[in-house]
Amino acid sequence: MNDRKPTVTEADLHAFADGLLPPEERTELEAWLIENPEDAAAVAAWQAQNDDIRAMFAPYAVSKDTDADIMFHSGTTPFAQAKPSQRNRRLMMFAASLALFVAGAAAGRFGPDLFARPELQLTAVEALPQQAHSAFVVYASDVRHPVEVGADQEAHLATWLGKRMNIAGLKVPSLQALGFQLVGGRLLPINGTPGALFMYENASGQRLTVLVGRNSGNSTTSFRFASSGDVETFYWIDGDLGYAVTGEISRDMLRQVADECYKQFSS
């Protein structure tokens, strides 16, 4: 690190890539990226991913007349009573979030923690792909006992996990159109609370998992990729739930699976 900004974190870089930093912090980070080409390359890659993801989800973008109210009533200070600097910051973040939302990625931060420091939210977000990766590595390779409840009891699986997670009408995504059949699912601890893991397999024996867990921060993020070796994870957080699709498959197929899951979970 240098004397200009000695505490640049990965969360800062993500916030920069997502356009969520205030102007003064953005200027500092721009200077940092000039002196740190590896970080600059990472930010450029994330921005390219965001562009691809926005294009992928554009057909499903839905806006409501009340969207702005969610933004302006976040926190304890009413928007109309906020100081000019506060209103400007809120408007700036609203504009950035709205642009991503209209693009279909449901990005920005629509929730009570909208105007909290980005790194506080992103730190929790980054735990999701790590847990999804660990669950995939542990269970997808298990030949005899990969799941607790098999696909022949799908209705029971959905009811059981929904009850444990306190989610009415929890859905088990159908991925048959993409060539993946449900193997079953299991209960998992995710951030210290009950979570769900659904497993799928195609005709060639390739497996993938879909993880659903509680998000105590009640925030919303853009869709992101995480890689570890040959294992890819595509993840996002929507309100009080986080989702992650993981597998040793191509990113193109992973995107298609995530697209299908997103539509089904949102319907």
Q: Give the amino acid at 35.
A: E
Q: What is the 3-state secondary structure (H, E, C) of 48-116?
A: HHHHHHHHHHHHHCCCCCCHHHHHHCCCCCCHHHCCHHHHHHHHHHHHHHHHHHHCCCCCCCCCCCCCC
Instruction: Take residue 85 and report the two structure tokens written for it.
Output: 């600097």
Write out pLDDT tens, residues 96-129.
Answer: 444 444 434 333 333 333 233 343 343 455 678 8
pLDDT beyond 50 at 2: no
Q: Which has the closest alpha carbon to 263: 226, 238, 231?
A: 238
Burial 106-122 (b: 16+ CB within 10 A, else e): bbbbbbebbbeebeebb
Share of the chain above pLDDT 90, in %: 32
pLDDT at 54 (0 to 100): 67
Range with the largest mean pLDDT of 30-44, 50-64, 124-138, 244-258: 244-258
Share the mean pLDDT of the chain. Answer: 76
The region of weakest confidence among 69-73, 94-98, 100-104, 259-263 is 100-104
Q: What is the rounded CA–CA span in Å between residue 93 and residue 148?
A: 43
pLDDT band at 247 (very low <50, low <70, confident <90, very high): very high
Under CATH, which architecture does the 118-266 domain have?
Answer: 2-Layer Sandwich (3.30)
Q: pLDDT tens-digit profile of 162-211?
A: 999 999 889 999 999 999 999 999 999 888 889 999 999 999 999 999 99
Domain ranges in the chain are 10-102, 118-266
Degrees (nearest 5) of the Cα angle 141, 232, 117? Answer: 125
The whole model's pTM is what?
0.56
Q: What is the pLDDT of residue 125?
A: 57
- Structure confidence at residue 147 (pLDDT): 94
